[in-house]
Amino acid sequence: MGEPGERWQWNLRELQDAFRSAISIVLKRQVVWLFIDAVDESGKTHAIELVRHLRKLLASISPENFQFLICITCRHYPVLDLGSAYEIALEGENEKDISAYVQDRLSLVDEKSASRIADVITNRADGIFMWASLQIDRALELERNGASLAKTEAEILSTPRGLFGVYEELVQNMKERSKSLKMIQWICFAMRPLSLDELRWVLAVDADRTSPIKSLKKAQESDEYITSSERMELRLKSLSCGLVEAVLSLDRRVAQFIHQSVRDFFVETGISALDDSLSTCGNNSNCAIGKSHHQISRTCIRYVQMNEVIQSPAHGDALEARFPLLYYAAKFWMKHAKQAEQNGIAQNDLLLYFGWPSPKLLRAWRRICCQISYDLFDRPPAWTSMLHMLSDHRLITPLEVLLSPANKKDVKVNERDAVGYTSLLQAARDGYWDVVELLLSAHDIDINARDSGGRTALLCAVSRGHMAIVRLLLERDGIDINAQDDYGQTALIHPVYPENVAIVRLLLERDGIDINAQDDFGQTALASAVSLLKMAVVRLILEMDDININARDNHGQTALFRAVSGGDVDILRLLLDKDDIDINARDSQGQTALLYAVSLGHMAAVRLLLESDDININARDSQGQTALLGAVFRGHGAIVGLLLDMDDIDVNVLDAEGLTPLLCATQQEHVAIAGLLLNKHHVDVNVRDTEGLTPLLYATRNNYQSISELLLASKRADADAQNDSGRTPLSYAAQNGHVTAIKIYATDHKEVIDLKDVNGKTPLWYAARAGQLEAASILIQNGADVAAASDSGEGTPLHMAASSGWTDVIELLIKNQADVGAAAGNGITPLHAASSLGRADAIKLLIENGAQIEAEDIVGHRPLHMAICSGDMESVKLLLGEGADPHAAARTGEKPWQLALERAGMGMQSVRLARQFEAENWLWLDGLLYSALENSSDGYL
Compute the distance between CA of residue 432 and CA of residue 460 in angstroms, rounded to an integer: 12
- How high is the pLDDT of residue 459? 96
Residue 2 pLDDT grade (very low, low, confident, very high; cuts 50, 70, 90)? very low
User: Is 60 exceeded by the pLDDT of residue 301?
Assistant: yes
> What's the pLDDT at 923?
42
pLDDT of residue 448: 97
pLDDT for 79 equals: 65
Q: What is the mean pLDDT of the chain?
A: 88
Do 25 and 64 fall into the same domain? yes
The pLDDT assigned to 515 comes to 96
Q: Which of 308, 326, 345 is the last residue of a domain?
A: 345
Query: Which value, to the nearest 10 degrees, does the dihedral of the CA atoms of residues 844, 849, 852, 858 take?
Result: -90
Q: Determine contact, residues 804/769, Cβ cutoff 8 Å.
A: yes
647-661 average pLDDT score: 94
| Domain encompassing residue 303 | 162-345
Among the ranges given (153-162, 191-200, 339-348), the one the predictor scored with the smallest mean pLDDT: 153-162
- Average pLDDT of the segment spanning 799-806: 96
In a domain, 315, yes or no: yes
Q: Looking at the domain assignment, is residue 652 inside a domain?
A: no
Is 724 inside any structural domain?
A: no
694-733 per-position pLDDT tens digit: 999 999 999 999 999 999 999 999 989 999 999 999 999 9
Residue whose C-alpha is closest to residue 680's, from 637, 630, 645, 628: 645
- Mean pLDDT lowest among 68-72, 73-77, 253-257, 595-599: 73-77
What CA–CA distance (Å, rounded) separates 634 from 600? 9
Per residue in 657-704, pLDDT (tens digit) is 999 999 999 999 999 999 999 999 899 999 999 999 999 999 999 999
pLDDT at 86 over 90: no
Say how far apart CA 362 and CA 264 lie, in whole Å.
36
Domain with residue 358: its CATH number is: 1.25.40
What's the confidence (pLDDT) of residue 23?
Answer: 87
pLDDT digits (tens, 9 = 90+) for 487-514: 999 999 986 555 578 899 999 999 999 9
- Together in a domain, 152 and 178: no
Furthest C-alpha separation in the chain: 143
Q: What is the pLDDT of residues 804-824, one digit of tens each?
A: 999 999 999 999 999 999 999
Give the pLDDT mean for 53-65. Answer: 82
End residue of a domain, out of 291, 314, 345: 345
Q: Out of 82-91, 567-576, 639-648, which region has the weakest mean confidence (pLDDT)?
A: 82-91
Q: Are both 243 and 392 inside the same structural domain?
A: no
The answer to whether 654 and 686 are in contact (CB under 8 A) is no
Q: Are residues 21 and 39 in the same domain?
A: yes
Domain for residue 219, yes or no? yes
The whole-number pLDDT of residue 165 equals: 79
Together in a domain, 216 and 315: yes
Mean pLDDT in residue range 439-448: 93
Do 261 and 352 lie in one domain? The reply is no
Ranking 6-20, 451-465, 845-859 by mean pLDDT, the lowest is 6-20
367 and 405 fall within a common domain: yes
Q: Are residues 128 and 41 in the same domain?
A: no
Q: Is residue 106, in this structure, part of any structural domain at all?
A: yes
Residues 428-440 have a mean pLDDT of 96
Q: Do residues 545 and 577 touch, judged by C-beta distance below 8 A?
A: no
Q: Against a cut of 0.75, is the pTM above it?
A: no
Residue 320 lies in a domain: yes
Q: How many domains does the structure of the chain reveal?
A: 4
pLDDT value at residue 166:
80
Q: How distant, in Å, are the alpha carbons of 198, 241, 318 from that of 204? A: 10, 20, 22
- Is residue 305 domain-shared with residue 341, that is, in the same domain? yes
CB neighbour class for 635 (10 Å; exposed up to 12, middle 13-18, buried from 19): middle
Same-domain status, 63 and 34: yes
Q: Which of 446, 476, 492 is the last residue of a domain?
A: 446
Q: With 60 as the cut, is the pLDDT of residue 941 above it?
A: no
Dump pLDDT digits (tens) for 239-257: 998 899 999 988 899 999 9
Residue 474 in any domain: the answer is no
Question: Per the omega criterion (within 30 degrees of 0), is the bond before 78 cis?
Answer: yes
129 and 250 inside one domain: no
How many CA atoms within 13 Å lie on the side-chain side of 774? 9
Query: In degrees to the nearest 10, what's the CA dihedral of 85, 86, 87, 93?
Result: 180
264-278, 635-649, 844-858: least confidently modelled range = 264-278
Please indicate, yes or no, whether residues 180 and 222 belong to a single structural domain of this protein.
yes
pLDDT band at 136 (very low <50, low <70, confident <90, very high): confident
Residue at 791 is within a domain: no
